[in-house]
Structure 1
Amino acid sequence: MPAKNPTACLLVIGNEVLSGRTRDANIQFLATGLGTLGIPLREVRVIPDVPETIIASVNEVRCKFDYVFTTGGIGPTHDDITSECVAAAFAVPWEPHPVAWPRMQASYKPGDFNVARQRMATMPRGAALIENSISVAPGFQMENVYVMAGVPRVMQSMFEWLAPRLPGGAKIEMRAVHVIGLPEGIIAEGLGAVQQRYPDLDIGSYPFYRASGNGVALVAKGSDSAEAEKAIAEVTQLIIGFGRVAIPGEPPEV
């Protein structure tokens, strides 16, 4: 049996996400990237810009997961409070970072490094920087908590810098088939039996609706590629047993 993979949680922080004004684009990117590193994303929470909620959430999930990632709330405006909340969660001062502060100060014209921009260089004492190639303002790490920007392009650059530095596990492997015209309710019992035989895999059923025909995608995910292959082979036989054709891979988007 493969060694246990480390687990991760993502806290998406921001009233704008909860209100529907901003569509979060970071969850899929992080889930995919972490899976490649063998760090399955096990929980995602979307929480508001409320200090008590952020502090309590950080303290709860950093004890439950090997890695905690946060996105959002590290900009220059009054509602960007993630950094100071993380300081409170770790019970350390929120203060000018000895590297980020002079670096950011030097990047602006004299007088332009104002109080708002100074917030982006103020971090929990002991924070390690997370660099990015898009902006001079970094993210930061406190123990197993990684605080990143909410802007997708900046967050992605931070994660690309961070990824080689994250100890992971076996890559999360995925095998899939899909079938046209076979409802989930017909295959559910047999699929549940397959899941019982492969407890270390996540076996999922995902209906889709296409102009070319409706159907269901059946996916086996886990760190053992041989087990995933065996499980999806059993799913394929299950589909054949209903007189249908199992098509390898995910269904096309259109």
Structure 2
Amino acid sequence: MTAPDASGADGAPAPPLPVRVLVKGASTVNWISWMGGPRTDFILPRVIEERLLASGRPCTVHTHSVASEPTHGVLQTWEREVLGFSPDAIVLVYGHYETIHLLLPRWLERHANSLRGRPRRLRLVYRDRLVRPAWMLLARAQAAVDARWGSRLRTRRHEKVVADLETYIRHVRTVGHPLVHLVELLPPHEKKAGWFPGMPARIARMNDALEGLVRRLDDDEVRFVRVADLVDSVAGGDLATAIPDGFHYSPAMHRAVGERIAASITQWAEGQPHLAP
């Protein structure tokens, strides 16, 4: 008895399986600085999809991204996102949110800056007269404290982020050993750093911790994606051009980061028997 071949009904070779990609992160994944541009302003997961298809690789890209999502959320959702889908490659853009605020809690920021509010008169008055002024007052107070103490306070946030990510990576690597990317974070540019004076130091500690995790795992299929050098090639070294609002990539940066990750996935996929034609 002979084994079935992989040819199609007409005898032609069957096309390769699509590369399955899962992209996760907070608003650094799903938000463009500034929003409101044309449909061709792709976020990085869409760029990954575009470049894989352009290289002749069929693909299926899933994006799970929530604004202000803390890293520990990955452990709450990994089973439903990974077990059934079984991605070939996973892209993680985490750790940025934990570097932003020195004091203010996540729930308050989410409430003050929510995009889900209904346009009702009393709700609008509540937001315009109470929530937003209170938030701005607290944000200014936080900035003053952050300027004085923020760069000197060594919180354990980066350690917790790395611990959560390491546990997540060990979980997902049991599901077919997917390729995993951890993406380097960018600090706010000078025009925005005044609101979060200690954030650049926190970003530096977070990047060191993320890169240290990759080195410690010592696995070619767990990769650290450098981004800072793309600011030079894409924006002439100007952070204000690369991340105009101080936090989120411009369309050109989304494209550059997506292309770099897509190239890594393409190179890896060439050595995967299940993805061969």
TM-score by length of 1: 0.40
Q: From the CA coordinates, give the structure whose radius of gyration is larger.
A: 1
- Whose RCO is larger (CA < 8 A, sep 6+)? 2
TM-score (norm 2): 0.37
